[in-house]
Amino acid sequence: MRGKLAFTDRELATLREHGVAIFADRVIFDAQPPMSDAAIEQIAAQCAGPLPEALVALWRTTAGGSLDYDLSVRFGDDHVEALSWTELYYHRSDGVLDLQGWIDHELEQTPGKKLLALPIGGFEHVERIYVFVGPGASRGAVFAWSEGPPPAWTKPTHGESVARIADDLRGAFAALTLTEKPGADSVFLEHVEGLVEAGLGRELGKKLVAFYQGAVSDLKALRKSGDPKLALRALTAAIKRDDAASIRQLARQVPLDRPIAGPAIPLEFAVSVGFFAAADALLEAGAPINAAGLTYLHEAASPKLVQALLDRGAEPLIQTIVNCARGGNRATADLVSRAYAARHKDLVPLFRKAHAAELAQQRENLKMSKKGTFSHYAGEGAIERNIRNLETYKLPSK
């Protein structure tokens, strides 16, 4: 291990005693004991080609465990999605983490044949990570499979898809990063605190956390890399930090019409999540917006910002009016209403229908919340405010 935070052999041994392993500069916790040579040979016998060296190295470090990093994967040219890779499968595990169970599942799809793609981890049943173990130039490459969202999901996304993450497993681990410094809700930080209380040692715990935080995206390094893919990743990280200064620099290096979150291009992503400093910087840089760019507009967007988006080609949408009204942002709701009315003659009936549907949904949410069968991230009071905002909003007269 290189760098200022390299662990000594003694520290690595202590970490292993507490279920922590390091592989390819990433931290694995709940780490299982290394896999035996016999077990590795048993798995290799089920594959169409020899196991890649990096995979064998991982299993000789740990046979499985947990991860807590961010991972974005491009599914084709039109979608970039956050992918959950929190699990590394292991032998003789119960349930969803059982490596041989997933191998058997794959073999059932092609009876009588050996594996071309070996499942090694993922997230529950909905997202999996595969290492290609067949012949040819792709041997060792790492792929992601995603089931896709449930039918009721409304955000931009993809359906069931496969995407290549990296040419080898170490490259896939390098793609595991942290968009920002982890906060109090971090699964990993909470786990480390538990290890310290169990005897890991406060200083080693601090060193482990510092090492883990080394995966936070280094925007400066990404900008200087000259790699368009890395620069686009840096732009995404800068938007998530609402970092206008970095965006102004990166906007000269990357195309601003490429999807970075689902099918959303940079400006659409920024306005959908409420990063308005980032949105302003993108507007200054001449970033485009698609006609449907207001579909996921954050309800707190200002009239000035929305007018700029309309001037740049975004279409005023009925649901945008409803969403802004629900959030109490009447000025922006009025602006979009007037823009819609200037282009269409069906504002009133379509708004009434969408408004009634949203109000009914919010009232149902409140009813379920009181029964304990629904939970709003901002609390029951937020649902009540949504209802009041919708009940009191009226379309502008002109």
CATH at residue 334? 1.25.40
In a domain, 281, yes or no: yes
Residue 310 has pLDDT above 90, yes or no: yes
Among the ranges given (144-148, 166-170, 176-180, 253-257), the one the predictor scored with the smallest mean pLDDT: 144-148
Of 127, 151, 177, the position where a domain reaches its end is: 177
E strand or H helix at 392, and its extent? helix 380-392
Quick one: what percent of the chain has pLDDT higher than 70?
Answer: 89
In a domain, 19, yes or no: no
Stretch 261-289: mean pLDDT, rounded? 90
In a domain, 9, yes or no: no
pLDDT value, residue 186: 86
In a domain, 16, yes or no: no
Same-domain check for residues 370 and 265: yes
pLDDT value, residue 194: 95
Task: Decide the pairing of beta strands 117-123 and 127-132.
Answer: antiparallel
Provide the mean pLDDT of the chain.
87
What sign does the CA torsion over 61, 67, 68, 70 have? positive
In a domain, 368, yes or no: yes
Of 162, 177, 192, the position where a domain reaches its end is: 177
Q: Which amino acid type is present at position 67?
A: L
- In whole angstroms, give the CA distance from residue 160 to residue 222: 30
Same-domain check for residues 258 and 359: yes
Same-domain check for residues 125 and 268: no
Same-domain check for residues 290 and 151: no
Among the ranges given (2-11, 27-36, 159-168, 322-331), the one the predictor scored with the smallest mean pLDDT: 2-11
Percent of residues in the chain assigned helix, strand, coil, to nearest 5: 45, 15, 40
pLDDT digit string (tens) for 208-260? 999 999 888 666 666 666 666 667 777 888 888 888 988 998 888 888 988 87
Q: Which domain holds residue 166?
A: 32-177
Name the more confident of 274 and 181: 274
In a domain, 291, yes or no: yes
Residue 73 has pLDDT above 70, yes or no: yes
Domain count, the chain: 2
Confidence bin at 1 (pLDDT 50/70/90): very low
Residue 317 has pLDDT above 90, yes or no: yes
The two three-digit tokens of residue 238, written as one number: 């800068």
In a domain, 2, yes or no: no
pLDDT digit string (tens) for 362-395? 999 999 988 888 777 678 899 999 999 999 999 9
pLDDT digit string (tens) for 91-142? 777 677 889 999 998 999 888 889 999 999 988 777 899 999 998 888 999 9
Same-domain check for residues 230 and 165: no
Contact 20, 195 (CB under 8 A): yes
